[in-house]
Structure 1
Amino acid sequence: MVTVPFNTPTLIGNEIAYIREAIRRGQLSGDGHFTARCQKLIEDLTGARKALLTHSCTAALEMAAILCDLGPGDEVVMPSFTFVSTANAVVLRGATPVFVDIDPATLNIDPARVADAMTPRTRAVFAVHYAGFPADMDALRDAAAPHNALLVEDAAQALGSFYKGRPAGSLGDMAAFSFHETKNIISGEGGALTLMRPDLIERAEIIREKGTDRSKFFRGQVDKYSWVDLGSSFLPGELISSYMCAQLESAEVINTRRRAVYGHYMDAFADLAQTGRIALPRQSNAVTGNGHMFYLLMRDLADRTAFIDHMRAAEIITPFHYVPLHSAPAGRRFGRTHGGMDVTDRISDTLVRLPVFFDLGAGIERVIDAAQGYFRANP
């Protein structure tokens, strides 16, 4: 029996042709032809004033932390229920992540908890759009504004999602995206930082170019470039960008198919959710997801562990998500928690993800049949 993976990378259209074209053009380092095309496509998809391609979402988050002017004594409020890169970007600047609980319905950061965690030391709020569904950005803006705190979208999973009709990537001061092979739009590795504030754009370019004004030099604005600020090597190469460009051109096709997979799962498990055996994703009418992820919430850790084992025996991969940062060794060392984390802890023990990828095809019926078999045996 062939294993149904959790995810597999997919060729949609022009990926190989564009890689060949990048080689023919003779520039494989960053900021070439395909980097420029990708940035324009991302700006069009997000409505951002500027998009800057990076080698990962981690790099984009680290750039965002520098743009927030974080330093020792500063704090950034964020969910504990997120990937480690969200917090690492803050810790690398010497600042403190302040972990707050998530909303039990959306699994996104709880704006009421954020408002309660704000202090004179708060420099930013990092809002994670979990499972591709945007957080309640208006409420988060209301919490951040009285403290002049920047609002950063960790939109790693959310390209092509919307909040009140506005695209992810245009909802805060800046946003970080991922094009890792587990995401909707992929390039193996890869990321982007989008910016909504014009006053941040020039410095973002400098940070991305190792702290130099190299971008201004190539535009003919200075006669030579030099080291002018903090920075690092955040650019991807043109092979990454060429693959990504083909994927971005097919973004709507990809997201449409993934939304269909999500909808199929929702229909298949609706009866089990109505009986209370499991819980399914819930979102408000204010958001439109991109079909990035589908998950089930099980009764408890033992139930989830048994489900994963059952699915593995059927050669179907169903991982969990995440180990909370507040309880991780580095989270306890570098961060602090504000308020209780009951929802985060419970979700971390009970959430299991089902396979979602472009070429899943008929494999979705295998996943559903195997899952239904578990629930029949364990009502």
Structure 2
Amino acid sequence: MDKISFNKPFLTGKETHYMYQAVYSMKLSGNGMFTKKCQKFFEDKYGFKKCIMTTSCTDALEMAAILCDVKPGDEVIVPSYTFVSSALAFVRQGARIIFADSYEHNPNIDADKIEALITDKTKVIVPVHYAGVACDMDKIMEIANRHNLYVVEDAAQAIDSCYKGKPLGGIGHFGCFSFHETKNVTAGGEGGLLCINDERFIRRAEIIWEKGTNRAEFFRGEVNKYGWVDTGSSFLPSEINSAFLWAQLESMEVIQARRKAIWNQYYDGLRDLAAKGFFILPDMPDYATNNGHMFYLVCRNLDERTKLISYLKEQGIGAVFHYLSLHLSDYYRGHHVGEIPVLPNCDRYADCLVRLPMFYELKEDEAQYVISSIHEFYK
């Protein structure tokens, strides 16, 4: 069997056609026809109040940090087992990051441990929906509302996932999505989306998005000229990126169905080994839905994880580990004041979690080969 890569971006066949349209529309700089179509897709399909395309999920998070008015000395609670952008977006505003542990049975932030981390300096909670599986948003929102805190959902991996029927990214004050090439749908390699779920922030979000100007209002004919009115940056992506994404969004139901089928094949093929205690399969709380973004195993220790990845590589299978705990990073150690927190569950996922190949074009027999190879390893 040919080598099975970890990821392969899926092309519907319409991407270059729409990109051609964007080029010859002579509106390349963004906020044109395809930008508007993508934004409206998310607003209509998921009921998000206002959606703004960004160049990445990192940019969406940075916009959210500005909109939350995070200032030097403010504290932001973030899970340690996440991508660096979840924290860095707030560090850039001068915030002090307070890292939280994951659940023992789930890489998501442990909602029961959040309140103990809150001080009079806390301003934002950042739940990260790992693998597209929802955090316990009722608990998180109740804590945030009681302490008058903002909630920024890092939904980078969570497109088309729900919490108790509510679309992720639409529960907190803000939701941030990624269209990187490793995600279920992509905007040509990079891209993101900011969802503004609190109407108080909609006007300012557009201004920050347009480099601190009220240009979006000018283009809509709401003002007769535009100028510099606030902070901001070049968060708006090229129209070509949105054209690429639009082709993907048109086929999202098909893409999602295939990814979920692969996920279910892995789960059914590996649960006998999990029942014997060789590893732990992904945890799916009853309040969460599965969007087929990622399939992972949690091995018993680091040595076993290392040997499994090496073995699968020998079989031509691209399996990888994922995040390292951010609270143990060189940057955090060098800038943090006080004791480094002890977060054993985050560290266990950093040492023991392995991701299996997951992409639209992964064939049924290829997924079975991955399953059989894991069975062979554990013999």
Normalising by structure 1, report the TM-score: 0.97
Structure 1 stretches of 4+ moved >4 Å: 335-339
Residues 224-235 of structure 1 mapped to structure 2, 5 A cutoff: 224-235=225-236
Read off the aligned partner of 1:267 and give its amino acid letter: D
- 1:333 Cα deviation after fit: 3.1
Q: How does 1:306-325 map to 2 (within 5 A)?
A: 306-325=307-326
One-letter amino acid matched to 2:217: K
CA distance in 2, matches of 1:248, 1:97: 35
| Structure 2 residue 122 is the aligned partner of structure 1 residue 139 | no
Shift of 1:335: 4.6
**Residue in 2 aligned with 1:330?**
331
Q: Aligned residue for 1:354?
A: 356
Partner of 1:371: 374
- Aligned-pair RMSD on alpha carbons? 1.2
- Residue of structure 1 in register with 2:256 after alignment: 255
1:26 aligned residue: 26
Cα deviation, residue 44, structure 1: 2.5
Deviations 1:159-190 (A, max 9, x none): 00010001112111111000000000112100
SS in 1 for 2:355: strand
| Counterparts of residues 99-138 of structure 1 (less than 5 Å) | 99-138=99-138
- Cα distance in structure 2, aligned partners of 1:283 and 1:261: 16
Asked if the contact 2:30/2:236 (under 8 Å) is kept, the reply is: yes
Is 2:342 aligned against 1:340? yes
- Mapped partners of 1:375, 1:17: distance in 2: 47
Partner of 1:36: 36
Q: Secondary structure at the match of 1:215?
A: helix
Distance in 2 between the 1:72 and 1:200 partners? 21
Moved more, 37-46 or 122-131: 37-46
Partner amino acid, structure 2, of 1:329: D
Corresponding residue SS for 2:141:
helix
8 A Cα contact 1:46 1:169, kept in partner: no
Counterpart in 2 of 1:80? 80
Q: 3-state DSSP class of the match of 2:320?
A: coil
Residue type of the alignment partner of 1:342: P
- Change in Cα spacing, 1:338 to 1:48, as seen in structure 2 (3 Å) is farther
Question: What's the CA shift for 1:143?
Answer: 1.5
CA offset digits 1:106-149 (Å, max 9, x no partner): 21101111111111101110010000011111100112112211
1-structure distance, mates of 2:5, 2:178: 20
Aligned partners of 1:251, 1:44: CA distance in 2, in Å? 14
Judge conservation of contact 1:120–1:147 (CA < 8 Å) in 2. no
State the distance in 2 between where 1:360 and 1:43 align.
31
Cα separation, 1, equivalents of 2:22 and 2:81: 38
Match of 2:165 in 1: 165
**Contact kept? 1:172, 1:196, Cα under 8 Å:** yes
Which residue does the alignment assign to 2:201? 200
Equivalent in the alignment of 2:302 = 301
Kept after mapping to 1: 8 A contact 2:327/2:341 = no
2:180–2:191 Cα contact (<8 Å) kept: yes
Q: Tell whether 2:80 aligns with 1:46.
A: no
SS at the partner of 1:356?
Answer: coil
Q: What SS does the corresponding residue of 2:114 show, helix, strand or coil?
A: helix
Q: Does 1:244 align with 2:242?
A: no
Deviation at 1:154, TM superposition (A): 0.1
Corresponding letter in the other structure for 2:148: N
Amino acid at match of 1:367: V
Deviation for aligned residue 1:2: 2.5
Q: Is the 8 A contact 1:80 1:101 kept in 2?
A: yes
Name the amino acid aligned to 2:247. A
**Aligned equivalents of 1:47 and 1:315: distance in 2?**
43
CA distance in 1, matches of 2:303, 2:171: 38
AA partner of residue 353 (structure 1) = R
Instruction: In structure 2, list runs of 5 or more residues that go unmatched.
Output: none
Give the counterpart letter for 2:157 in structure 1. Answer: Q
Measure how far apart 1:28 and its partner are: 1.3
Deviates more, 1:121-130 or 1:218-227: 218-227
Deviation of 1:252 after TM superposition, in Å, equals: 1.6
Unmatched 5+ stretches in structure 1: none
Could you tell me how far apart the structure 2 residues matched to 1:331 and 1:374 are? 37
Equivalent-residue separation in structure 2 for 1:267 and 1:60 (angstroms): 36
Q: Distance in 2 between matches of 1:141 and 1:257?
A: 33
- 8 Å Cα contact 1:41/1:249 also seen in 2: no
* Pairwise CA distance, 1:339: 5.4
1:344-369 Cα offsets, whole Å, 9 max, x none, are 11111000000010000132122112
Matches of 1:123 and 1:267, distance apart in 2: 42
Partners of 1:87 and 1:209 in 2: how far apart?
23
Counterpart CA distance in 1 for 2:292 and 2:347 is: 25
Larger mean Cα displacement after TM superposition, 226-235 or 41-50:
41-50
1:182 corresponds in structure 2 to 182
CA contact (8 A) 2:43 2:51 kept: yes
